[in-house]
Structure formats: structure tokens, C-alpha cells
Structure 1
Amino acid sequence: MATPEHITIEPNVLYVGTPVMLLCTQNADGSNNISPASSYWALEKMLVLGLLADGHAIANLQERPELTVNFPGPELWRHVESIADTTGADPVPEAKSSRYAHERDKFGRAGLTSRASDLVSPPRIRECALQFEAKVHRATQGVGDYFMVEAEVVRVHASPGIVVPGTNHIDPQAWEPTIYSFRHYFGLGAQHGFRPTSDTASHVQLPQPA
């Protein structure tokens, strides 16, 4: 019997493969919060982030609209996971109470190190090779229990090892984000190709087709 080309399914999540981020926001008392996230897209200097409506990150951003977006490498996935079921909210929202616990010191719990930002109040995360400072322009309630946050990147910090020397370009051969796919953490595999508009393609050699 022939296998059908496709079958109809109803997965619980649609995280086909998106980057893992650690968002730093500032609490009302001046302390800092870290929120793991993976709903993200970018257009020029603007980011659109998807955040749960009952999360502490969106509550902070509505009051203090600045954040840093830190991209951990795959080797940091356990650090990310260590705070994935924690919240800066106290008390814990009822909808999260069965799984989440309050954590005031997420930097300590995750074993991560804060570094002062240049243009925004929330800190960056030293261990993340790529870091954005950003300011929120708008947060819009979505159809479901989430917000779409539009933020402008005002400064980018990168480890020298992931930058093409003498340029402002991230080297995709050197940079490896953590990819979140159907609740699993992955790194990147081998490169298969690139767009003609790539800033770094001139020094890339692809394997020749057989």
C-alpha cells in the first residue's frame, strides 16, 4: 500500500525552528529579570517578539520599555533550561502555578553573568556571543494570550570570534545560535547555500554537487 505524501496532524506547538533568546528586562525595584523566549523575527533594525500575556517580561516592558536580547550558543542550553520554568512574578500567576516557581535571581540560578549595557537599563549576558540592546516602540495584544512586541535595536554587541575581521558582518560560518524546534534544542548543521545578497559569501566555499 502506497504511503501518502502528507498526512493531516494537529501538533501542540508550531516551533518549526526558531532562535532561542534570553530577554533581560528591568523589574520595578531596579533588579533584573531574564526570560527565555523563541518567538522572533527581524526586519532591518526592528524586532517582533512574541511574549505570553501573563509573563513577567511583558509586565516589565509595559512599564519600562527597554530590554536586551541575548542569543545563547547551543552549549548554554542547560543554562536556558534551568530558568525555563521560573518567573519573576511574585506571586506566580495562577495559570502558571502548577509548573512555574518564582525566582528573583535568575542570573544566579542560571549561572550567567550580567554586563552593563550602553544605551538601555537592562544588562546584557556575558556568556552570549551576540547581544542586542533594544527599545520598545509598541506592544500589541494578540488574538491569543500573548503580546507582539515591536522593538528597535539601538546597539549590537558581538564576540570578535563571530565577526568577519575588519567588517561589521556576523560570520555565519563562525556563529551558531541555539535553535528551538518542537521543544528540543539544536545547533546548526552544515551550510547548504546562501543568498546572492549575503555580506559574507565571498569567503565561503560550498561542496560541489556530485
Structure 2
Amino acid sequence: MVHSTITPAIFYWGTPVVLITTRNLDGTSNIAPNSSVFWLGNRCMLGLAECSQTTANLLREKECVLNLPSDDMIPQVNALARTTGSEEVPSFKIMLGYHYDKDKFRTTGLTPMKSELVRADRIKECPVQMEAELAGCYEMMSSLPGEAKGFTLAIEVKVKRTYVEEKLRLPGHENRINPDAWRPMIMSFQHLYGLRNGDRETSTLADIEEELYRLPID
């Protein structure tokens, strides 16, 4: 096996797509696709540009909804891909072909749903929806020079309530997802994928009872 050295511009090795809904200053909704994300316990870390509308909304309102699209929602995600909720589009986004979109629900044909614990709307078509509150904000890449310094933030949110379609629930368990039923959308190096059909491979980690990972409620 031969390895060679490369210097990638991005490191999207394969992460789930999240549609983040936040509340604009005028009470309307913003939707932003994101793949810089990971979960640990009931916390989620989001990698966001400091200048994005989602970041501004999240830091001001201190809440959001994390909506997980299934892999058959690629048209809706593509409709969002080069849009921004910022009226003044940042220069780097203009260079990438972004444009301002005031009503992303209309653009995508997605349907807003009222949340129960936060003011941001959920997305009806997404089979998983998580209402969340801001838990922390951390500057990344602070060592970079000039305007690049502080360009990216790592934003921690705490999931307060999770909604899933009934078909995703694992029979015989109150709080577990059936991995054979869940088909997340995955981004890998700017391309969108779904999970392959067929039987899953055996994992020794799956022998551990899932509830043993549950952290104390805070």
C-alpha cells in the first residue's frame, strides 16, 4: 500500500448534513445547510463562519433547531447551497456565487413547523428535528493572520427536545433509533451521498447497551 502526501483545502471526509433553522431579527426564519458538525451526549458542536446570518441569529437568540434531512432531500439542500440570509453578502461568498435569500422556506418548498421549546421553526419534511439552546462559543483559527483570524467559530448547543418520525424508532425501545431505517444525507468533499442499501456490517461497539452512554441530565 503506497501513500503520498497531499494538502487538502477542505477536510470533509464524510459528515451528516444539518439544516439549521434560526430566527431573524424581524421574526422570520433562516435555514442554513451545514456539515461541520459532531455530537457528544446531548451536545452538538457546529462549525460556523463568524459573519454568517445563522451565527448572528444563534448568538442573539441563543437557540436554534437542528433538522436532519434524509438522503432523498437533495433537491431542497441544493436549493439552499449558495444562499445566505445576510442582506449584505460577504465578499468571499459573492466570490463563491452566493446570493441573498429572504425566504428560504419558499425557495425550497419546505414547510415550517412551530417548535415547542424554542422560537425557531422546525422543518416538517426532515425526519429528525432537535430543538437546541446555545451552550458555548469558541473562536477557532485564532493564529491565522489578518482578516482570516477569528473567521470561524465552534458553537456548542444543547439539545433540549428531539422529534423523530415513527418509522425511525427501534421496536421494543423507547428512545432508540433503528439504524436500518435511518437514511441520513452525508456530505463528502462537497458531494452528497446516502447510505448504501443492504445489510449493515457487524460492529463490536454495537454489543454495548446504548443507554450506558447516557450522560447525567443538566
Q: Normalising to structure 1: TM-score of the pair?
A: 0.90
Q: How far has the Cα of 1:155 moved from its partner?
A: 0.1
2:60 corresponds in structure 1 to 63
The answer as to 2:157 corresponding to 1:151 is yes
2:18 corresponds in structure 1 to 21
Amino acid at match of 2:82: D
Identity of aligned residues (%): 37
Q: How far has the Cα of 1:95 moved from its partner?
A: 2.2
Distance 2:61 2:102 in 1: 18
Would you say how many aligned residue pairs link Structure 1 and Structure 2? 197
Q: How far has the Cα of 1:97 moved from its partner?
A: 1.9
The answer as to 2:113 corresponding to 1:106 is no
Distance 1:97 1:18 in 2: 25
Amino acid at match of 1:192: E
Q: How far has the Cα of 1:107 moved from its partner?
A: 0.6
Deviations 1:49-76 (A, max 9, x none): 1011221100111111100000101110
Q: How far has the Cα of 1:145 moved from its partner?
A: 1.9
Distance 2:28 2:41 in 1: 31
1:197 corresponds in structure 2 to 208
- Which structure 2 residues correspond to residues 124-143 of structure 1 after superposition, within 5 A? 124-143=122-141
Query: Which stretches of structure 1, 4 residues or more, deviate above 3 A after TM superposition?
Result: none
Q: Structure 1: any 5+ residue segments left out of the alignment?
A: 201-210
Q: How far has the Cα of 1:94 moved from its partner?
A: 2.1
Q: How far has the Cα of 1:137 moved from its partner?
A: 1.2
Distance 2:183 2:120 in 1: 24
Range moving further from structure 2, 99-108 or 166-175? 166-175
Distance 1:158 1:141 in 2: 32
Q: How far has the Cα of 1:199 moved from its partner?
A: 4.1
Deviations 1:108-166 (A, max 9, x none): 10110111111001011111101110001111121152110100000000000000134
Q: Structure 1 residues 93 and 159 mapped into 2: Cα distance closer, same or farther (>3 Å)?
A: same
Distance 1:19 1:193 in 2: 21
SS of 2:59's equivalent in the other structure is helix
1:87 corresponds in structure 2 to 84
Q: Normalising to structure 2: TM-score of the pair?
A: 0.87
SS of 2:107's equivalent in the other structure is helix
The answer as to 2:185 corresponding to 1:178 is yes
Amino acid at match of 1:165: P
Q: How far has the Cα of 1:28 moved from its partner?
A: 0.4
2:116 corresponds in structure 1 to 118
Distance 2:13 2:167 in 1: 28
Distance 1:41 1:150 in 2: 10
Distance 1:197 1:117 in 2: 33
Range moving further from structure 2, 185-194 or 7-16? 185-194
Deviations 1:69-119 (A, max 9, x none): 001011101100111101000121222123110001001101101111110
